[in-house]
Chains A and B, each alone.
Chain A
Amino acid sequence: MDKKTILVVDEDPEMRLALQIRLRANKYDVAFAQDGVSAIAEAVKHRPDLILLDLGLPAGDGFAVLERLQAMNDLACISVIVVSGRDRLASCARSLKAGAKMFFQKPVKQADLLLAISAQIP
């Protein structure tokens, strides 16, 4: 069975590292991006099965990325889980409206996240 690829988009290298350890341990392939522009580029390049997207990104924030993804036919079908330190009240609804499948607020319980991922890309 092919490994699923997850694109991790986060400005914070430590966050990327933590997720990398987690995801790899759970048998996922991981790709990375640290800003809005490279997020799209990497998405096109790797065609991930799922994207973990932070909202506070340089060069276009998470919402811009979501918008862009929705606009591109072959990328729109990719499940996106938003993982953000931002205020849940404001960001959750907006994220879901913008096309994200789920919203998690940092710090996120790793177990919860993993379950969510497996639910999205079984």
Chain B
Amino acid sequence: MSVGTSLDNNSVASEHLPMKTSSCDSNSQAEPKSGTPLMSLEYRVAERTKTLAEEATTLAQQAIVLAEQASERIKSLAVQATALAEQAALLDLTHDSIIVRDKKDCITFWNLGAAYTYGWSAEQALGRVTHELLQTRFSLPLDQIQTLLLLDGHWEGELVHTRADKSKITVASRWALQRDGEGNPRGVLEINNDITERKRAEDALRLSEERLALLIQGGKNLAIFMLNPDGLVDTWNEGAQRIKGYISKEIIGQNFSKFYIPEAIEQGRPADVLRIASEDGTCEDEGWRVRKDGSRFWASVVVTALWDKAGKLRGFSKVTRDFTDRRQAEMLLEETRQEQMRFKDEFLSHVSHELRSPLAAIDSFSSIIADGLAGETTPEQDTYLQIILKNSSQLKSMVEDLLEGTRSKSGQLRINLEPVFLSRPLLDVYNTFKGAAAAKEVKLTVELARDLPEAYADETRLLQVLIILCDNAIKFTALGGEVKIKASICVNAPEYLLIQISDTGCGISPDAVTRIFEHHYQASEPGVLGRRGLGLGLHIAKSLVCRQGGEIWASSVLNHGTTLSFTLPIYSETKTNPVAALLLQPV
């Protein structure tokens, strides 16, 4: 006890120093047996000092270690801080908004992107409740979203946010739930991407697509569909189903030639249509088409070629209308029209016929009296009779004008082309006019080249032409003249026959030579007896000649004569006759 006490009295660093022991056994320690109590005290102090020094050294060493540890720790913390700062800087690089909020939805992190997007700085945003600051419009009720978030740990959706300047934007938002060490929700990481522009474009596109689809679907009476470049059906619409009978899966991938009638397929019409469309851009067609059930309908079709920006053919659009009703109506209308015209022609014919009989009677009996067959006449009676005769002649002309002028186009019959030897119609016309010619002492001759090949013509119409031309020739030739009809092979065009009717009559003036074939042209030569009516004769002749594939023209010298010439194609079995082909095309 005394050692302990004496040491206590010195009180060096009594609390911190590791005391050896505080038990009563301390008396038995390190006490040299030899020596006085004073020596042992000095010794004891020395020893103690040594001990203390050692402990101090140890402590110092420990302090150094701690200092080193602390310094390491500070360094690593500094490194961490730098890394964090770099990360934070990275987070500020993006234009996306990166927002972190705590359990109560208060903003704890707000990156530069968020500041840029929303117009609030970090200072303004931190601590605010996110959906209050941004006046968020949710696509689902917020509690539903939060439930999902808790379940999945994340959520994605579109939100509408209001910026600081009150404008609204749409964002694609992704939320991630942050949990603490025990798994309890701690906060949310929210990353938002401004998709306002994209949404606008998408909406516009969708709207236009909807409109287009509506338009196409709404066209119930229009088949609107697309073909690929080879003519296979690519798309189908309700109208197409309605008109043609196929549902889309039955027809997509099939060739559109399926819709054509067998005759058209044989002629290669479908391929032609595509070719024309790709050459001209578009091809319009009308014709019979076949439905799924085999029934036919009359279609009006427009096929348009579709090119992409690179100029490559992408396919065709095809719009088909069922015009069966319209066609039927058209045909009915046409029939009615034809019937009306036929009626009119018949009526006129009947009327003219009826008018001619009394005219004939006036003419016959007046001339009988004038010729003295009913007794002698006085000169005065003769004069008056001549007046009667002249007027009845005029009346006759007017009746002819009436009929010719009002005859409709369909009053003319169809042209039937066949091989025709010219000899017979020439002989017929000669016989018809030799009397009239003789009456005027006009010499009428027919010259037929030997072995003349057959013409490809309509004999009846040819005869008509000859009659019209001869009639004119004789009419306009004065007493004692000559009318010659000549037929030969055309020198300038050996595939044609040339027929010429020349007279020694009064001739036609140069400016009239082409005009005489016009509708309603009238020769107003003084002193010419017998008007040519409404001047339709030559017009009709021209029409008939042209319809048979020939040409007609006149050459003339005033006061000397006129030659009317026309050509007709020579009949050839081997060569295809273009005129015939023209006339045989379905009307």
* Chain A contact residues, CB within 8 Å of chain B: 12, 14-15, 18-19, 21-22, 25, 56, 85-90, 92-94, 96-97, 101-103, 105-113, 115-116, 119
Contact = CB atoms under 8 A, between A and B. Distances in A.
Interface string B419-455: 0000000001001101110110000000000000000
Chain A at the B interface: SS class:
helix
Interface stretch (B14-22, B73-81, B216-224, B355-363): B355-363
Given A21-B368, A21-B374, A112-B436, A107 B360 contact: yes
A21 B373 contact: yes
Given A85-B357, A87-B352, A116 B434 contact: yes
B526 to A, nearest CB: 22
Contacts of B432: 92, 96, 102-103
Contacts of B169: none
Contacts of A92: 432, 463-464, 467
- The number of chain B residues touching the other chain, given as a range, is 35 or more
Contacts, number: 97
16 contacts: A15-B364, A18-B360, A22-B364, A22-B368, A25-B371, A85-B360, A86-B349, A89-B464, A92-B463, A96-B428, A102-B431, A107-B356, A109-B439, A110-B371, A115-B435, A115-B438
A88 B540 CA distance: 13
Interface in B335-390: 349, 352-354, 356-357, 359-365, 367-368, 371, 373-374
Contacts of B431: 96, 101-102
Contacts of B439: 109, 111-112, 115
Among B354, B364, B413, B428, residue most surrounded by chain A Cβ atoms (within 10 Å): B364
Given A112-B436, A112-B439, A106 B360 contact: yes
B396 interface: yes
A118 to B, nearest CB: 9
Contacts of A119: 434-435, 438
A102 to B, nearest CB: 6
B464 A112 contact: no
A22 B370 CA distance: 12
A90 B353 CA distance: 12
Given A21-B374, A102-B431, 16 more contacts: A14-B364, A15-B360, A15-B364, A18-B364, A19-B364, A22-B364, A85-B353, A85-B356, A86-B353, A87-B349, A87-B352, A89-B464, A90-B349, A92-B467, A101-B431, A116-B435
Chain B at the A interface: SS class:
helix
Given A25-B373, A85-B356, A103-B432, A18 B365 contact: yes
Given A110-B364, A119-B438, A93 B464 contact: yes
A93 B373 CA distance: 34
B490 interface: no
A102 B349 CA distance: 21
A25 B368 CA distance: 10
Contacts of A21: 368, 373-374
Contacts of A14: 361, 364-365
Contact of A22 (B349, B373, B392): B373
A98 B548 CA distance: 23
Contacts of B434: 116, 119
B463 A96 contact: yes
Nearest to B429: A96
B441 to A, nearest CB: 10
A79 B432 CA distance: 13
A59 B218 CA distance: 66
Contacts of A22: 364, 368, 373
A25 B359 CA distance: 22
B460 A93 contact: yes
